[in-house]
Amino acid sequence: MTAAAYSAAVVSGKTACSKLTRARNMEDLEMELVHRGVDKVPSSITNRKNTLRKLEAERLIREHDMPPKEAANHKEFKPLSDAPFKLCDD
C-alpha cells in the first residue's frame, strides 16, 4: 500500500488488513468478529483476517451495492466494534 493510499484509508476511518499483526491485533480481531456475529472465532491471525475480509465484502455489497468482485478485492475494512486496532508498536 502506498503512503497516499494508507493516508486515505486512515482519513476515511478504514483499516488496512495488511497492517494487522498477531502481536498487536489478535484481541482486536476477536472483538470485531464477535461484534459482526461470528460465534466461533478462528485461532490463527490469517484465518481471522480472511473471515473479516469476507464479512467486510458482504457488508460492502449489502450497504453500498458494490459489485461482488470489487468487494472481494477490497483491502481495507471499516471497524464496526470499539476495538482499538493499533497499527504500530508503542
pLDDT at residue 12 in the model: 66
Per-residue HEC secondary structure of the chain comes to CCHHHHHHHHHHCCEEHHHCCHHHHHHHHHHHHHHCCCCCCCCCHHHHHHHHHHHHHHHHHHHHCCCHHHHHCCCEECCCCCCCCCCCCC
pLDDT given for residue 8 in this prediction: 47
Those residues of the chain that have pLDDT short of 70 are 1-12, 90
The predicted pLDDT at position 7 comes to 46
